[in-house]
């Protein structure tokens, strides 16, 4: 990735911040996007290769073409688009009292990624570049208490699988990354049934993958332009169980949530 220009969303913390360190160590030049300027500026100061902070709320969909324009103005090209930004929710469907949770999750996780990919396509075609999008194992199967999040990640999977086919012969590859549970601040900010942040993680963090571990594995898949990366053994197993024994994978998903890991 030495010298490549990478636009990375959700860069200020968690998996995104860890990815920025991994990419920068490989010599990539980074356009780093997130809402919080202070955290972005501190990240830029930590990185060994050139990086630019670009504070933006990705739900401002009309601003996404300007983000691509700013990347081209700064670096002259775009080689990789890594779509990592996302939000989540924790509530059963029955317990939801604020149904706007479903719309907010879809807008960030699906619509923003789709709009940004669309805006970046001309530049990526010119460089014969690469799109990597962070979905989730919940994009492959339903998970209780995560219905809105699952829906958004299923949408991501469908959109980028279709886009991959449309881009055949263009030189632009698409990688879909599906991590399992990861230690991130996203869980603390997850929206509850009333639409308000939980304030504390519901996960047993000592038993799940760290953001740094996840980012290291992801970068390997990104470098290889791998079609699909599944972030755990149960994820790889579950992909086939869903076809062969769908009731069994439902039970595995339910137990994972009950155990919080």
* Active-site annotation, residues: 149
User: Tokens at residue 68, please?
Assistant: 């691509």
Spatial CA neighbour of 117 closest among 105, 104, 133 = 133
- Assess contact for 257 and 235: CB atoms under 8 A: no
Pairing of strands 173-178, 130-134: parallel
Mapping DSSP to helix (H, G, I), strand (E, B) and coil, where does residue 176 land?
Answer: strand
Compute φ and ψ for 96, nearest 5 degrees. Answer: -60, 130
- Assess contact for 7 and 80: CB atoms under 8 A: yes
- Give the DSSP letter of residue 187: G
């Amino acid at each position: 990735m030495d010298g490549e220009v990478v636009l990375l969303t959700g860069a200020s913390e968690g998996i995104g911040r860890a990815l920025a360190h991994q990419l920068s160590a490989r010599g990539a030049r980074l356009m780093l996007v997130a809402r919080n300027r202070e955290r972005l500026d501190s990240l830029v100061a930590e990185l060994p290769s050139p990086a630019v902070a670009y504070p933006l709320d990705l739900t401002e969909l009309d601003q996404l073409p300007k983000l691509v324009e700013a990347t081209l103005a700064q670096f002259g090209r775009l080689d990789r688009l890594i779509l990592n930004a996302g939000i989540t929710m924790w509530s059963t469907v029955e317990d939801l009292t604020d149904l706007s949770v479903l719309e907010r999750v879809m807008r960030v996780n699906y619509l923003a990624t789709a709009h940004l990919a669309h805006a970046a396509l001309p530049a990526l075609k010119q460089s014969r570049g690469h799109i990597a999008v962070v979905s989730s194992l919940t994009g492959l199967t339903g998970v209780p208490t995560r219905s809105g999040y699952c829906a958004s990640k299923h949408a991501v999977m469908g959109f980028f699988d279709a886009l991959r086919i449309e881009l055949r012969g263009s030189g632009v590859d698409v990688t879909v990354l599906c991590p399992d549970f990861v230690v991130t601040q996203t869980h603390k900010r997850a929206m509850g049934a009333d639409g308000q942040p939980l304030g504390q993680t519901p996960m047993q963090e000592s038993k799940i993958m760290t953001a740094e571990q996840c980012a290291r594995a992801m970068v390997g898949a990104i470098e290889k332009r791998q079609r699909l990366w599944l972030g755990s053994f149960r994820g790889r197993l579950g992909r086939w169980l869903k076809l062969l024994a769908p009731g069994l994978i439902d039970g595995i998903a339910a137990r994972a949530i009950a155990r919080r890991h």
